[in-house]
Chain A
Amino acid sequence: MSSRLRVDWPACRRRGFCSELLPEVVELDEWGYPLVTGEVPESLTRLAREAVRTCPTLALRLTDLPAAAPPPGRHTKRFL
C-alpha cells in the first residue's frame, strides 16, 4: 500500500535529509523546505521510514492512504 509523507511545518528547519534520502518524492523549494511531490510507493517505504527516523527535528510523518475516515454509525458515547 502506498503512503504519504506529511511535514510538521513549524518543526521543519530545512536540514534537507529527507530530500537526500528520497529525491523521487521530496524536492526542496527555493528556500530549502521540502516539497513533497507525490505519494510514497511501496518500493520506497523503507527509505521513507528512514527519513522519518533520521529527520533532525522529527518533522516528518508517514501516513497511510487514504486518510482513515471514522466509520459511520458510531454514535454511541464511550467514556474513558
Chain B
Amino acid sequence: MTATVLVRPTDGGTGPTLRVRSGPRLLADLDDGPGLDRHRDRVGALRTPRLARLLRSLDALGIRGRGGAGFPFATKLRTAAGARGRPTVVVNFSEGEPASFKDAALAATRPHLVLDGASLTAGALGAREVHLVLPGERPAVRRSIRTALAERRGEDRRLRWRLHTADPRFVAGQARAVVELLSGRPNLPVTGWQPEAVCGYRGRPTLLSNAETFAQVAAAVALGEDGYARLGTDDEPGSLLLTVGGDGSRPEVLEAAHGTAWSAVLPAGLLDRPVLLGGYHGTWAAPGALTGLTVSRPGLAEAGLALGAGVVLPLADGACPLTRTAGIAGYLAGQSAQRCGPCLNGLPALAAAVRSTALGRPATGRVTQLADLVERRGACAHPDGTVRLVRSLLAAYPDEVAAHADGCCTFGAALPGEEVAS
C-alpha cells in the first residue's frame, strides 16, 4: 500500500490538487509530515563537510542539476569555489515549466532536506547567504518554506536565508532571470557573458541550482557515498523525482530509482500513448517507445529523448500529439519575454507554421527553417526548448504529419477547423 499526500500548491481552489506518492528515499515515510523533529530522526544532525570532501562525494556519485539541463553539480560547485569573491547560494523552487510540481512537492513534504542541502553547501563554500526563489503562482510553497525556516532557528548558524518570489511566467526561472530578480531588476533573462558560478549576483560567484538538487546533495552527505549508491545503477546512483500528469488528470509526483523500467513507473495503458517527456521544453516519445527503456539520462538520450526537469505527460486517449504541439508552441510563443529579436519574431512564426501543419496545410520546411533560425539566438534557452519540442514531434510522428496533410488524424481526433482570424 503506497502512502500518498495531497497538496494544493495554488490558492482559491483553482489549481490542481497534487498527489505525492511515497518513494524509496527523498519521499520515504511521508506519513511523518514535513516537521523538523521527525526529519532529524530520519537523517540525523546536519553535518557540514569540508569543501574538498563534498566535491569528492559529488564527483563520485555524479550528481547532476535537477532543473532540466542536468549539469554536473560538482563542476558548478568547484567553479564557484575557485572564482573571485565570497560565493552566494541560490535555491530555485520556481518551476517555470507549468507541468512540473516536484519542487512544490518537496517544499510541502521535505522542506528540511532541501534546506539542509543548501545549508551544508553554503557552509562548505563559505557562503553566508542562501537565497530561496519561490514560485509566485504557488503561494503554498512560500508558506511551507516559511514554516520550515521558523523551525530551524539555531540550525544554520552564521547563515542568512532570504526569500524571493518569482514572477508567474515560463522564463522567470531561468538562471539569469533569477539573478536579475535577486538584484531587484525585472525577473527576465539577460545575456550572461560568464557562468553564474563565476559572476552572478552582485558580480559574485553564485551557485544556483534547483530545489531537488539540494535535496539530493543532503541525501548524499547524510547517507555517505556507499549508502547513496545503494539505490540506482552503477552509472547513475540514486533516484530522481518525476511529475506525471497527463492532460486532464491530476498531477502526481513520484520518486524513481535510476534504472527503473518505465513500465514500472507508468501504468501499461499510458505507455501505448504518446508521451511528452521533459514538459513543454521536452521531447515526444512515440507510443511504445518507452517500453524496454529505463529511467536513465544516457539511456533516454540514446533514444533521442530527454527528461528535462522530470515532467512526464502522457496524452489523453485519442489526443493528437501534432495538434497538442501546435497548442503548446502557441503558449510558448506567448511566454517569450519579447526582448530578444529572434525569439520575439521567430516563436510566433514557428507556432503558426506548426498550427498550419496540424490543420492539414503542411509547412514542415518552414518549421525546420524557423527552428534553425531561433535556436541559440537569445539570452535564455526558451527558443532552444521550443525548438527541441517541435523537432522531436517531426522526428517521432512523421506519419502523423502526412496524415494531417491528407485531411485525417490517426489518433481519431477531428482536425480543428479553420480558426477565425483574430
Contacts from A to B (Cβ < 8 Å): 6-12, 14, 29-33, 35, 61, 63, 70-71, 74-80
Contacts and interface: CB of A to CB of B under 8 A. Distances in A.
A25 to B, nearest CB: 15
A60 to B, nearest CB: 11
Contact of B82 (A6, A12, A30, A74): A74
Contacts of A79: 85-86, 126
Contacts of A10: 189-191, 337, 339-340, 379
Contacts of A12: 340-341
A77 B51 contact: yes
Given A75-B78, A77-B126, A11 B191 contact: yes
Nearest to B126: A77
Contact of B55 (A7, A8, A11, A75): A75
Given A74-B81, A77-B81, 18 more contacts: A10-B189, A10-B191, A10-B337, A10-B340, A11-B191, A33-B341, A33-B377, A35-B373, A63-B193, A70-B79, A70-B83, A70-B198, A74-B78, A75-B52, A76-B81, A78-B84, A79-B126, A80-B84
B345 interface: yes
15 contacts: A8-B191, A9-B339, A10-B339, A10-B340, A11-B191, A12-B340, A31-B346, A33-B342, A61-B193, A63-B193, A74-B81, A74-B82, A75-B51, A77-B87, A79-B126
Contacts of A74: 78, 81-82
A10 B109 CA distance: 39
B124 to A, nearest CB: 10
Given A75-B81, A75-B82, A9 B125 contact: no
Interface string B302-342: 00000000000000000000000000000000000101111
B81 A9 contact: no
